[in-house]
Amino acid sequence: MTRALMIQGTGSDVGKSLLVAGLARAFTRRGLRVRPFKPQNMSNNAAVTEDGGEIGRAQALQARAARVTPSVHMNPVLLKPQSDIGAQVVVQGRMIGTAKAREYQSWKPRLMASVLDSFDILSAEADLVLVEGAGSPAEVNLRRGDIANMGFSRATGTPVVLVGDIDRGGVIASLVGTQAVIDSEDAAMIRGFIVNRFRGDPTLFSDGMALIAARTGWAPLGLVPFFPDAARLPPEDAVALDAPDARREGVPLVAVPVLPHIANFDDLDPLRQEPGVAVTFVRPGSPIPAEAALIVLPGSKTTIDDFAFVRAQGWDIDILAHVRRGRPVLGLCGGYQMLGRTIADPDGIEGAPRTIPGLGLLDVETVMRGQKRLVAVTGETLSDGAPFSGYEMHIGDTTGPDTQKPLLRFADGRPDGAVSADGLVSGTYVHGLFADDRQRAAWLARLGAPPSSESYEAGIETVLDRFADHLETHLDCDRLLALAEPYRKPGTV
């Protein structure tokens, strides 16, 4: 019978996603059929599945760690923020609508049916399902109708391990305080705790582990030291964009404006790991550096609103000046749409119906319409034949004279993207372009930078294995496995 264990956290970004990935690799190496599962996720970093749906990027990484193909059932409910108070709602890989935060609360009872359906499907093919919570169970104001944390745990009888992040400070209070504020029946589902991201001498926190265990009655399952190479794995949350500025002397600088609804910014991860270039994410209130060798306009969940933000920051002026200096610009998906002459949303897909002028650096026009395109693609760049593999995830059709000089050609012969007449400005709908070593090497060559000798994809595999080793060393993985309980479908005996 399939067993299940849920990893919840005292807050967001305490390391739940990465811990599930590391445990998935560790238990897969023991010969178990492991499947990751996250009932509800909120992220604009998404991945395309083979069955033409989308899930959170973290669940795609966890599937990779478990050495299985990502499925829409690994993340049945995905919320993609479109504004400060509303989000697109994606259920089992497909968007079903847009809801404001308060409205979404009334959707949860019917969404739980989809969550349980997906969990049943995954459980049928697994020995162990590792479930990741969302946010924190201490958000008791959201407990009614919850599908992401204790609501799911209680509905399925899945025991919980609670994770606290000591690097933030206050980890004792966050763990003990969680028990203090949640319902006693919810607290009874928590069987143990993990303290994550410890730095220094672990013996200095042995009393802290004992105190938490004494106050809560939960089993101490391990103190996990900080793992620096975690930064080499694709991030899920935009908090990763808060990393220190990466500018270094003597190497070309790639500048990426941080849009309010930036999406799939992990497109830049392979470049960030190249020693021959520096990637800087330009924060609001800062100009795009004049010394940038390349500007990349990233993907966006709301292209029109985010382009208005580009103008408000004065980044449009910086980009135009950059091109006048004879330096290249690359637009990815929403960034590609911003480079054209106009962006039209006649049906109000992203908000109120409207048409706005773009940067005009590409002689193309975009109309938001049709179904979202979600598909994995392979091909090559037309200019040099460098291969790539990636995925499309967009709404909108882009047409115009510059599309007659496409940037890419897919394996099935279709063209994609556009290149300006002078060759300086290009755009594409393909995400993941830089992950292919040969494609990335071609871009680095254009910047006069040498590529690293390490394969990006092989590097991810190495880090996953090393992190699994790290967890096997510092966690009681045997006890974690023993805590996982057989899953019985709700309503069965």
Catalytic residues: 333, 431
The b-or-e profile of 226-243 (16+ CB within 10 A means b, else e) is ebeebebbbbbbbebeee
Under DSSP, the state recorded for 218 is: P
Q: Is residue 479 part of a domain?
A: yes
Query: 3-class SS at 24?
Result: helix
195 and 287 in a single domain? The answer is no
Residue 202 lies in a domain: yes
* Total domains in the fold of the chain: 2
Domain extent for 291: 252-447
Paired residues of 106 in beta bridges? none
* Burial readout 47-82 (b: 16 or more C-beta within 10 A, e: otherwise): bbbeeebbbbbbbbbbbbbbebebbbbbbbbbbbbb
Same structural domain, 435 and 476? no
The domain that holds 214 is classified in CATH as: 3.40.50.300
Of 21, 12, 78, 20, which Cα lies nearest the Cα of 49? 78
Residues 98 and 177 in one domain: yes
Query: Is 138 within the bounds of a domain?
Result: yes
Strand positions, DSSP E, 258-372: 262-263, 278-282, 294-297, 299-300, 329-332, 342-345, 354-357, 365-367
Convert the pLDDT of each residue in 285-300 to its tens digit. 999 999 999 999 999 9
pLDDT in tens, 172-209: 999 999 999 999 999 999 999 999 999 999 999 999 99
Q: CA-to-CA distance for 341 and 400, rounded, in angstroms?
A: 9
468: tokens are: 């699994």
Total number of residues shown for the chain: 493
Confidence of residue 449 (pLDDT cuts 50, 70, 90): very high
Mean pLDDT, range 323-352, rounded to an integer? 95
For 129-167, the pLDDT digits (tens) are 999 999 999 999 999 999 999 999 999 999 999 999 999
For residues 441 and 466, membership in a common domain is answered with no
CATH number at residue 327: 3.40.50.880
Token code pair at residue 120 = 């049943």
Chain segment 374-431, per-residue pLDDT in tens:
999 999 999 999 999 999 999 999 999 999 999 999 999 999 999 999 999 999 999 9
CA–CA separation, 39 and 153 (whole Å): 10
What's 68-128 look like in SS3?
Answer: CCCCHHHCCEEEEECCCCEEEEEECCEEEEEEEHHHHHHHHHHHHHHHHHHHHHHHCCCCE
- Burial class of residue 84, CB neighbours in 10 A (0-12, 13-18, 19+): exposed
